[in-house]
């Protein structure tokens, strides 16, 4: 009993986010977008709801979407109400990040690209204007002190320079710990 009680005081040891759930205007439009852009596939659906899985995921589902109708207003989270800012989806390589930059740009969904030192990120909006991030993480054994020092900064992403530094096929890292 003591070990369990002590563990509760420290926290439950969360490993990662298992899935996210979004309220959307139109489930079909949203599943088409996440399918075409990020390769998510529908693994289950109900009337007005769908559950999607990322291409290489081992989760039951990574994203749930629930339709609330065309009359739903835009999210004011971060402008006039509290709420979720964005979700971040991780990709394996800078080549994949580069490919997605093109896909997002073609769809008119790309709204930004940032270098946060240890991560290289694209920012986009889905059809309901909900923001998400697509991120590549520098592998721990390739991090420099400059990368670590820049963690809390936001610089413009120079994707060609990052590809020159790391290559298009370098697998991304897991976290930033060494």
Q: How many CB atoms lie within 10 A of CB 165?
A: 13
3-state secondary structure of 133: strand
Model-level pTM? 0.88
Q: pLDDT at residue 2 above 60?
A: no
Domain that holds residue 150: 85-168
42: in domain? yes
pLDDT of residue 49: 98
Decide which of 69, 103, 133 is a domain's last residue.
69
- Note whether residue 94 is domain-resident: yes
**Residue 174: is its pLDDT beyond 80?**
no
7 belongs to a structural domain = no
Kindly report, residue by residue over 65-83, the tens digit of the pLDDT: 999 999 999 999 999 999 9
Secondary structure (H, E, C), 44-101:
EEECCEEEEECCCCCCCCCEEEEECCCCCCCCCECCCECCCCCEEEECCCHHHHHHHH
With tokens 């003591």, the residue in question is 2
Residue 4 lies in a domain: no
Among residues 130, 94, 135, the alpha carbon closest in space to that of 113 is found at: 135
Q: What is the pLDDT of residues 81-98, one digit of tens each?
A: 999 999 999 999 999 999
Amino acid 178: pLDDT: 42
pLDDT at 10: 65
Q: What is the CATH number of the domain that holds 29?
A: 3.10.180.10
The answer to whether residues 101 and 163 belong to one domain is yes
pLDDT (tens digit per residue) in 45-58: 999 999 999 999 99
Whether residues 65 and 107 fall in one domain = no
8: in domain: no
- How many domains does the chain contain in total? 2
């Amino acid at each position: 009993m003591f070990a369990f009680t002590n563990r509760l005081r420290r926290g439950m040891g969360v490993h990662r986010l298992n899935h996210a759930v979004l309220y959307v205007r139109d489930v079909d439009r949203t599943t088409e977008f996440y399918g075409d852009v990020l390769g998510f596939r529908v693994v289950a659906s109900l009337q007005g709801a769908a559950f999607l899985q990322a291409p290489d995921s081992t989760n039951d589902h990574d994203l749930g979407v629930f339709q609330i109708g065309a009359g739903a207003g835009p999210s004011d989270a971060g402008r006039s109400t509290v709420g979720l800012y964005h979700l971040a989806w991780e990709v394996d390589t800078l080549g994949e990040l580069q490919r997605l930059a093109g896909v997002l740009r073609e769809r008119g969904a790309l709204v930004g690209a940032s270098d946060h030192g240890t991560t290289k990120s694209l920012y986009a909006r889905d059809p309901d204007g909900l923001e998400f991030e697509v991120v590549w993480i520098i592998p721990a054994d390739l991090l420099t002190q400059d990368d670590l020092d820049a963690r809390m900064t936001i610089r413009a992403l120079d994707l060609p320079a990052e590809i020159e530094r790391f290559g298009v096929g370098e697998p991304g890292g897991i976290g930033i710990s060494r």
